[in-house]
Amino acid sequence: MRGQKTARDEENAYGIQGTRVPGYVLSGSGAYRSLVLTGLEARESALQEPRLRLLLAGRSGTGKSATGNSILGQKRFISRLGATSVTRTCATGSCRWAKWDVEIIDTPDLFSSEVSQTDPDCTERSRCYLLSAPGPHALLLVTQLGRFTAQDQQAWRGVKALFGDGIVTRTIVVFTREEDLAGGSLQHYVRDTENRALRELVAECGDRFCAFDNRATGGKREAQVMALMGLVEELVRHHGGAPYTNDLYSLAQALEGADPEKRLRRVAERVACAQRRRERWPLTWLWRWPKARGAWRKLGVCTLVGALVLLCVLYRHRPEALQASHCCGLSR
């Protein structure tokens, strides 16, 4: 590996108008209004070629938007160097790949520990659900090569908190800055990394991973997309073509055709309710600590809490024991 670089959202090699790539038919559909289909549009959609929904996730600055642009072959999502998150709202873009109509959903900072401040009313998280309904076929967890940090781990926990643990079976780890391998093997990098948390993540996701150089063009870019889509198609076959779903996606589907604002509000209420339940769960705050260095810390704290509870129980019964002993002494 070459010298480590600071995390950043990478600029894509494509201009504003993008580049037409053979075999691709490009279009953009970022507006929320596109979520509500009329009955006629829904029937027409059912007659079209199969559709794949790919959801981009991960911490800010890893190159999610640039990766989406690389897959699409055009600059659909805003992607540039910045000290803070560039993406502010969920957006979609689509293209044609082989027999598939591929839809990419880009996300802002929905998975960090700051999400309660960045999305206090759960509007953006509910928008993410609606844009990806009836559910993603694959979730692309984007992380920067050589920079898997505590913030990445927090983002991964945030992904599972928002979509449920079942999303693990639909997740592909996408490493950006593939050029930093300098011709080396990605498989060897993952296998030999000293970052235990990264090895655990890849294993948890079924060893599904690939790498992107988001400045690549031409044949190299196409090869990257082909490698990713091969993993996606394998997931689709394994799950019988069905997208990932949960109770919130079911609600989004049940509300299809309703007023867009009402639909957004209802899903946001459910997201907020689920968040409150997680926060009320006993000792939930312990499991928010960074996992890489926090396993022993959690164990120590849990042991300490257990010891304190035991001492409290013993202290409560101590006066009764002393009184019983005193009575026995008097009886003698």
Cα separation, 75 vs 207, whole angstroms: 29
- The pLDDT value recorded for residue 311 is 79
What Cα–Cα distance (Å) separates residue 12 from each residue in 29, 77, 196, 255? 19, 9, 30, 36
| C-alpha gyration radius of the chain | 24
Residue ranges of the chain whose pLDDT lies below 50: 1-11, 15-48, 83, 282-293, 321-322, 325, 328, 330-331
Tokens 């037409």 belong to residue? 20
- The pLDDT value recorded for residue 222 is 96
24: helix, coil or strand? coil
- Cα 15-152-248 angle, rounded to 5 deg: 85
Name, in order, each residue with C-beta under 8 angstroms of 231's C-beta and a sequence gap of 6 or more.
Answer: 138, 172, 208, 210
pLDDT tens for 47-101 read 445 899 999 999 998 999 999 999 999 999 987 655 455 667 999 999 999 999 9
Which among 55, 70, 53 has a CA at the least distance from the CA of 9? Answer: 70
Q: What distance lies between CA 186 and its chain's CA centroid?
A: 21
- The pLDDT value recorded for residue 81 is 58
pLDDT tens for 202-221 read 999 999 999 999 999 999 99
CB 143 within 8 A of CB 152: yes
- The pLDDT value recorded for residue 317 is 60
The values of phi and psi at residue 55, to 5°, are -105, 120
- The pLDDT value recorded for residue 297 is 61
**Helix H or strand E segment including 320:** helix 291-331
- Show the domains of the chain with their CATH numbers: 51-281 (3.40.50.300)
Q: What is the pTM of this model?
A: 0.73
H and E: helices and strands count for the chain: 11, 7
